[in-house]
Every structure is written in structure tokens, then in C-alpha cells.
């Protein structure tokens, strides 16, 4: 093979994401060009191909260097210290030469094919579906098959902290060599062709630095793989480094567990968002990844399990050929999927039109009744009706999706509040016993415990409560009153406890300055002093612990109440329906004259107001008079109904046109 053909083969390996193999052959090729004599024609063809792909070959050299270093770090044990083993996932850490902390995760993911695992890792814009504390993520640029630039946000609403990161990641196919896939990533400030978001500047926000991320996924069977991850991340938090290291050691192991859980969901649910991405990106998943896995399984003598995401929507009993993995070749699956999609859209459109016709009919009846009484009524608007329907039909979110975040927040919250309070009290030991120390200790306890309690109630003002169906007025009023009450109560409790423990410390100092064992009578009030000394600071420490626990429990109690309210909004819409009926009764009952507050309240809570409209106060026309009038003007009423319906239809069409 001549030089140009060998170089073209290397370029083909690069496009096939086999960077290490391409770098090995490129090194041999360069040595051959330097050491051996070749014809001018061969060198000319080689130089032409080399010039056309100069940037690609330079990028290959840089990427190969990074990949070899990552593979060496992942394959060697090194000086790693095991932090914990949880759910079969081992978390280790190592202090680097620059005093940064590296975290290593290692575990075997069982009953999950590598195909789905790689799809979960590759679709970075769906990180928010499985990664803890990741509310938003976006793929900024897909450079090659397994090279991309992405952005994600890590948020801990519990402490008001938010960090985002922009990273460049690429992979290498090592399946022919070791049956593995190598992945590396690091932070970037910019990248050609990628619209990188600006660094957040708000309070509690910032951009963290991903110094290095290295991953190695090795296939051990058709449905299992061993995963190793090494990460060195600087969150850029103004917190003690020991606290940051502790959180990273204990919490990073959950990442692999969430990855495994999400991959299993993709296998079981062919309608998930990851499965839809797999079906949409035909060039990568069906044209590149699937043939590689099939070839590797054939070499190993394994039966590759069918990919449920690709099987969905295909007619397996057709006359077309079948894939070795169980799928069917051809466009029948796409056509079947498009038929299902169009049918679903048509049904949804018809249901929407039916709801609009029903609503127009009810609205016209309300307008007719208002015109018959010649009154200016605040009738129910279509906007209010639409908001009501959306509120009743709101689906309850999956509690399981946020369960991992809630479990992780609890120890972080308790540990951080306890550490802050303990360190603060140690610093106040130098102040001595006096009013200044009492005041500073009270302020410290008020800030820590008051924040813990108030944080639970602040969730009532969050986005989750607005989606749950809670009425805004009741929510804001209740949240404000309870928050103020808790803050004042916490302040009073902190002052009381500090006063009590201040007396304890005073008597302890007295005991220290007197020899109460040999001369107990020399101690002033020695009996009381001895009793106070036995109860010393234990009560004070117990108070701190219980405040931390109570704050956490209160937060989760409020979260459960919000969730139960969301369930009630969906499963008991008759409550909301009763509210609308009262509003409608109030609308129909108000005449032309102004009503007092007592009359308005009586309309809503009067006896038999909903079942017997004639009992409503302020109703100018009785039911019998209205029935007689309706008999005489039925034709006129029908014409007016048609006119109003036509008016509403034109209004909707005009709004839709805009």
C-alpha cells in the first residue's frame, strides 16, 4: 500500500472514532516517510492528502495524547483511597500534586446493555432527566459522532446555590482492542461554532471548572458493562474545602446508580425521550453504533439483545429482512410510526374542538341570561375558564424523579447547619461570659435555625407550588404569616436557650475557680452550682441537633403537602368545580344594583344556594317569571344565541390568525 493510501486509511479511522489506532498507524507512517526512500510521485500524492487534512491530523495528535493519559489513569490503580462502597459502586479519592481532589467511581452495571448506556451518556441535553441536581442541560454543538460541546446547570435550591459548566467531550472506539469505549471531557470558555452561554453573575451563581473527566466503559457481557469514571472538578464555592471534599466523596457515587436506573428505563420504555432520540438519529445509532455492537457480539459468540427503542413501531412479521439484533430493515417502521403520530394528532385536535364547542355553548347561555336581566355582569371570561381547565387537568409529576435529590439534600443540610453552628460557638468562646456573647450567640442561632424553618415554608412560593394548583392568595398569605411566626418563635427560643446555657457556663466557671471537692462551702450556692454543672452544655448541643432535624423534617413535610395538593387537584376536580359553580351563581345573581359584602358572602355560602337558585339574594326575577318570558321569546332567543356564537367564533379565528 502506497503512502497516500495509508494516509487515507488513517483518515478513515479518525472518522470512525478509532483515534488511538489511527495515531499508532500515523506514527509508523511518519517514521516510514522520514527513514525510507520513496518515489517523488508517492511523496507528492502523500503531501497533497496531508495538506488537505492537516488540521484533522493535528487534532488527532492532541486528542491521542489526552486519550492515552486518560487510559493510563483509568487502567492503573495508583494511590487511591476508598471512601465508600454503595450499591456495588466503589467511590475513591486522591489528592493531586496541585492540591486538588480527584474522585474515582467504579462499578459494574448489570442487566443494562451498553447500547442504552451510551445513549444516556451521549444525549447530554437530557441530563436533567437522570442526573441529580441538574435542572437544565443543552447540547450546544455536535462536532462528530461522539464529540460534542454541551452546557448544564447544577442547582441546590436548598442553599440558593447554582453552578453551570460548559465542557467539550469526545470519545474513542477501543472495542477491537479491549472491548471498551473511552470518553474524556474538560471545560472550555469557547468553541468554534458553539453558542456558549455567558457566565452567570447573580448571587449564589457562578461557573465551575471541569479540570478533567475520564471514563472507560468495558463490555463484560451482552447485558452488562464495567464503568470507571475519574473526575477533577472545581465548584468554585466559598465554603471550607473539607466540606466540599466530604460532599464530593459521599455524593458522587450516586451518579452511576442514576445512570444505571435511567438506562433500564430506556430499555423498558420505548416511548421515553432517550428512545425517541435513538430513533431520530438514524445515522449514528443504526448506521454506526448498532453495526459495531453486532460485530463485537459475533466475535465473542454472544446473542445481542434486541434494542427496544429501534424495535418500536416496526412490523416484525413483514417480508423484509431482519437485523441480527432482532430489528427489521427498511422504512416500514418509520411509516408506521408516522401513521401513529398523525392519528394521535388528529384525535387530539378533535377533542380540542369538541371542548371549544362545549365551552362556547355554555358561554353563550351565560351571556343570554345576563342580557335578559339588562345588567352589567362580571361574567366568566374564556380566559378564566381556560385557566380553570388547565388547573384541573394538570398532571401530577413523578415523585420518583426528585426522590434522589431529596435524599441527598437531607444529610447536606444537617451537616452544614451543624458545622456552622458548632464552629460559630467555638469562635464565641473567646468572647467570654457576658451580654455581648449572649447577643452574638442568639443571633447565630436565630440565623441558622430560622433559616432551616423558613426554608421549608419558602417552598410554598416556589415553582412547584404554582404547578400544584394551590390558590395564589391563600398561598401567599399563609406563607407570609407562618414564616414570620416561625422566625419570631425561633428568635425567642434562641434567646431563652442562650440565657439558660449562659447561666450554666457561669456556674461551670465558678466550679473551675473553686476547689469544691475539699472546701465545698467556699463555693457560693455550691448545691445549685453542682446541679447546674452536671447539666452543662449538653442541653445546648441537643437544642442544635433538634433544630437541624426539625428544619429538615419540616421542609419535607411541606413538600409532601404540596404533592398531596397536586394529587387532590387532579383526582378531586369536583372541589374546583364547586368553586366555579359558586362563581357562576354569583354572576347570575347580581342585579343592576350594588351588593354589600354580606350579600356577596351570602350568595356563596347561603343555604341551598347551589341547588335552589331562587334562594339566592339579589335575584330580581323569580324562576317562574323567567320561564314565562322564555316561552314567549324562544325564537328571538335562538337568533341571539346564534349571533353570539358567531361572534365568539370570529373572535377566536381573529386571535388565531394573529
DSSP state of 287: I
**307 assigned to some structural domain:** no
Predicted pLDDT of residue 375: 42
Last residue of a domain, one of 620, 637, 652: 620
pLDDT (mean) for 376-399: 48
* Model confidence band, residue 400 (pLDDT cutoffs 50, 70, 90): very low
Pairing of strands 81-86, 89-95: antiparallel
581 and 465 fall within a common domain? no
d(CA 154, CA 207): 10
Give the pTM: 0.50
* Model confidence band, residue 115 (pLDDT cutoffs 50, 70, 90): confident
* Model confidence band, residue 248 (pLDDT cutoffs 50, 70, 90): low
Q: How many CB atoms lie within 10 A of CB 110?
A: 13
Q: Are 462 and 157 in contact (CB under 8 A)?
A: yes
Contacts 24+ apart (CB under 8 A), 118-123: 118/181, 118/217, 118/289, 119/263, 119/266, 119/274, 119/277, 119/278, 119/285, 119/309, 120/259, 120/262, 120/263, 120/266, 120/274, 121/183, 121/215, 121/259, 122/146, 122/148, 123/274, 123/277
Contacts 24+ apart (CB under 8 A), 166-171: 166/140, 166/196, 166/197, 166/207, 167/210, 167/213, 169/124, 169/213, 170/63, 170/143, 170/144, 170/146, 171/17, 171/146, 171/147
Q: Each residue of 538-592: pLDDT tens digit?
A: 555 555 556 555 655 665 565 555 555 544 444 444 444 444 444 444 444 444 3
DSSP state of 615: G
Predicted pLDDT of residue 222: 83
Question: For cell 376536580, what's the residue?
Answer: 573
d(CA 294, CA 271): 23
* Model confidence band, residue 656 (pLDDT cutoffs 50, 70, 90): low
CA dihedral 215, 221, 222, 223 (to 10 degrees): -70
166 and 68 fall within a common domain? no
54 and 128 fall within a common domain? no
Most confident of 52-56, 245-249, 352-356: 52-56
**228 assigned to some structural domain:** yes
Evaluate if residue 6 carries a pLDDT over 50: yes
Q: Each residue of 276-332: pLDDT tens digit?
A: 888 888 888 888 888 888 888 888 888 888 887 777 655 433 434 433 334 434 444
Q: Each residue of 513-537: pLDDT tens digit?
A: 544 444 545 544 444 444 444 444 4
Evaluate if residue 466 carries a pLDDT over 60: no
Per the model's pLDDT, the better-predicted residue between 605 and 158 turns out to be 158
Q: Each residue of 172-184: pLDDT tens digit?
A: 998 888 888 999 9
Cell of 110: 448489570
**334 assigned to some structural domain:** no
Cell of 92: 475513591
Cell of 343: 392519528
pLDDT (mean) for 452-478: 46
d(CA 66, CA 212): 10
Evaluate if residue 106 carries a pLDDT over 70: yes
**293 assigned to some structural domain:** no
Evaluate if residue 185 carries a pLDDT over 90: yes
Query: 14: domain range?
Result: 3-74
**634 assigned to some structural domain:** no
Question: Which segment of 113-117, 222-226, 563-567 scores lowest on mean pLDDT?
Answer: 563-567
Per the model's pLDDT, the better-predicted residue between 538 and 256 turns out to be 256
405 and 418 fall within a common domain? yes
d(CA 392, CA 569): 6
**451 assigned to some structural domain:** yes
Cell of 615: 334562594
Predicted pLDDT of residue 166: 92
Q: Each residue of 339-381: pLDDT tens digit?
A: 666 666 776 777 777 777 776 676 666 666 655 554 433 444 5
Among 380, 399, 565, 570, smallest CA distance to 471 is for 565
Terminal-residue alpha carbon distance, the chain: 66
539 and 601 fall within a common domain? no
Last residue of a domain, one of 52, 74, 96: 74
Burial (CB count within 10 angstroms: exposed 0-12, middle 13-18, buried 19+), residue 373: middle
Among 259, 255, 252, smallest CA distance to 120 is for 259
d(CA 292, CA 174): 11
156 and 20 fall within a common domain? no
Among 632, 132, 121, smallest CA distance to 408 is for 132
- Cite the DSSP H helix spans in 208-331: 241-251, 254-268, 273-280, 282-284, 290-300, 308-311
* Model confidence band, residue 431 (pLDDT cutoffs 50, 70, 90): low
567 and 580 fall within a common domain? no
Among 142, 109, 347, 61, smallest CA distance to 216 is for 109
Last residue of a domain, one of 57, 74, 91: 74
Question: Which segment of 126-135, 420-429, 623-632 scores lowest on mean pLDDT?
Answer: 623-632
127 and 209 fall within a common domain? yes
Predicted pLDDT of residue 633: 60
For the chain, how many structural domains are there in total? Answer: 4
Evaluate if residue 403 carries a pLDDT over 70: no
CATH code: domain of residue 160: 3.30.530.20
562 and 593 fall within a common domain? no
**285 assigned to some structural domain:** no
β partners of residue 213: 185, 231
Per the model's pLDDT, the better-predicted residue between 285 and 430 turns out to be 285
pLDDT (mean) for 10-36: 88
**272 assigned to some structural domain:** no
Cell of 517: 471537692
479 and 547 fall within a common domain? yes
Q: How many CB atoms lie within 10 A of CB 590?
A: 24
Q: What does residue 318 show for φ and ψ, rounded to 5 degrees?
A: -75, 175
46 and 92 fall within a common domain? no
26 and 149 fall within a common domain? no
Q: What is the mean pLDDT of the chain?
A: 68
DSSP state of 658: -
* Model confidence band, residue 218 (pLDDT cutoffs 50, 70, 90): confident
* Model confidence band, residue 602 (pLDDT cutoffs 50, 70, 90): very low
CA–CA distance from 67 to each of 182, 491, 551 (Å)?
A: 7, 57, 47
Amino acid at each position: 500500500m502506497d503512502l497516500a493510501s495509508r494516509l487515507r486509511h488513517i483518515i478513515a479511522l479518525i472518522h470512525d472514532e478509532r483515534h488511538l489506532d489511527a495515531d499508532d498507524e500515523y506514527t509508523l507512517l511518519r517514521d516510514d516517510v522520514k527513514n525510507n526512500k520513496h518515489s517523488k510521485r508517492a511523496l507528492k500524492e502523500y503531501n497533497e492528502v496531508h495538506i488537505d487534512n492537516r488540521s484533522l491530523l493535528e487534532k488527532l495528535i492532541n486528542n491521542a495524547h489526552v486519550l492515552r493519559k486518560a487510559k493510563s489513569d483509568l487502567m492503573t490503580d495508583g494511590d487511591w483511597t476508598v471512601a465508600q462502597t454503595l450499591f456495588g459502586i466503589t467511590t475513591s479519592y486522591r489528592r493531586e500534586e496541585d492540591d486538588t481532589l480527584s474522585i474515582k467511581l467504579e462499578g459494574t452495571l448489570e442487566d443494562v446493555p451498553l447500547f442504552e448506556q451510551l445513549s444516556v451518556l451521549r444525549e447530554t441535553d437530557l441530563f436533567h432527566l437522570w442526573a441529580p441536581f441538574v435542572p437544565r442541560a443543552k447540547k450546544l454543538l455536535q462536532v462528530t459522532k461522539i464529540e460534542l460541546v454541551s452546557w448544564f446547570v447544577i442547582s441546590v435550591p436548598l442553599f440558593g446555590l447554582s453552578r453551570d459548566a460548559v465542557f467539550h467531550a469526545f470519545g474513542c472506539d477501543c472495542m477491537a482492542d479491549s472491548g471498551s469505549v473511552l470518553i474524556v471531557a474538560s471545560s472550555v470558555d469557547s468553541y468554534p461554532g458553539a453558542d456558549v452561554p455567558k457566565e452567570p453573575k447573580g448571587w449564589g451563581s457562578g461557573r465551575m471548572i471541569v479540570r478533567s473527566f475520564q471514563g472507560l466503559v468495558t463490555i463484560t457481557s451482552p447485558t452488562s458493562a464495567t464503568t470507571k469514571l475519574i473526575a477533577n472538578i472545581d465548584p468554585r464555592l466559598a465554603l471550607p474545602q473539607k466540606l466540599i471534599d466530604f460532599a464530593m466523596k459521599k455524593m458522587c457515587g450516586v451518579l452511576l446508580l442514576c445512570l444505571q436506573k435511567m438506562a433500564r428505563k430506556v430499555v423498558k420504555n420505548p416511548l421515553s425521550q432517550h428512545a425517541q432520540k435513538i430513533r431520530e438519529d438514524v445515522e449514528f445509532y443504526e448506521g454506526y453504533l448498532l453495526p459495531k455492537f453486532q460485530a463485537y457480539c459475533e466475535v465473542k459468540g454472544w446473542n445481542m439483545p434486541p434494542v427496544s427503542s429501534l424495535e418500536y413501531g416496526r412490523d416484525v412479521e413483514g417480508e423484509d429482512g431482519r437485523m441480527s439484533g432482532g430489528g427489521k430493515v427498511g422504512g416500514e417502521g418509520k411509516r408506521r410510526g408516522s401513521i401513529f403520530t398523525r392519528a394521535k394528532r388528529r384525535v387530539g385536535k378533535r377533542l380540542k374542538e369538541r371542548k371549544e364547542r362545549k365551552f362556547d355553548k355554555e358561554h353563550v347561555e351565560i351571556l343570554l341570561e345576563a342580557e335578559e336581566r339588562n345588567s352589567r355582569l362580571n361574567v366568566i371570561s374564556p380566559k378564566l375558564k381556560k385557566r380553570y381547565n388547565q388547573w384541573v387537568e394538570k398532571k401530577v409529576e413523578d415523585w420518583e424523579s426528585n426522590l434522589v435529590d431529596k435524599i441527598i439534600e437531607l444529610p447536606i443540610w444537617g451537616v452544614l447547619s451543624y458545622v456552622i453552628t458548632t464552629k460559630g460557638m467555638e469562635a464565641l468562646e473567646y468572647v467570654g461570659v457576658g451580654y455581648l456573647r449572649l447577643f452574638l450567640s442568639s443571633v447565630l442561632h436565630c440565623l441558622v435555625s430560622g433559616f432551616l424553618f423558613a426554608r421549608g415554608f419558602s417552598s410554598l412560593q416556589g415553582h412547584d407550588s404554582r404547578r400544584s394548583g394551590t390558590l395564589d392568595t391563600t398561598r401567599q398569605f399563609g406563607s407570609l404569616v407562618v414564616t414570620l411566626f416561625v422566625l419570631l418563635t425561633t428568635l425567642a427560643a434562641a434567646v431563652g436557650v442562650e440565657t439558660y446555657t449562659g447561666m450554666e457556663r457561669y456556674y461551670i466557671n465558678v466550679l473551675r475557680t473553686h476547689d469544691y471537692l475539699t472546701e465545698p462551702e467556699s463555693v457560693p450556692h455550691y448545691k445549685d452550682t453542682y446541679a447546674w454543672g452536671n447539666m452543662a452544655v449538653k442541653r445546648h448541643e441537643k437544642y442544635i441537633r433538634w433544630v437541624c432535624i426539625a428544619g429538615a423534617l419540616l421542609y419535607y413535610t411541606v413538600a409532601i403537602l404540596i404533592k398531596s395538593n397536586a394529587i387532590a387537584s387532579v383526582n378531586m376536580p369536583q372541589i374546583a368545580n364547586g368553586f366555579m359553580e359558586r362563581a357562576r351563581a354569583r354572576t347570575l345573581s347580581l342585579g343592576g344594583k350594588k351588593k354589600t359584602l354580606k350579600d356577596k358572602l351570602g350568595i356563596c355560602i347561603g343555604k341551598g344556594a347551589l341547588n335552589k337558585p331562587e334562594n339566592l339574594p339579589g335575584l330580581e326575577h323569580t324562576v317562574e317569571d323567567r320561564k314565562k318570558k322564555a316561552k314567549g321569546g324562544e325564537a328571538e332567543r335562538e337568533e341571539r344565541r346564534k349571533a353570539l356564537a358567531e361572534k365568539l367564533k370570529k373572535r377566536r379565528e381573529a386571535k388565531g390568525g394573529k
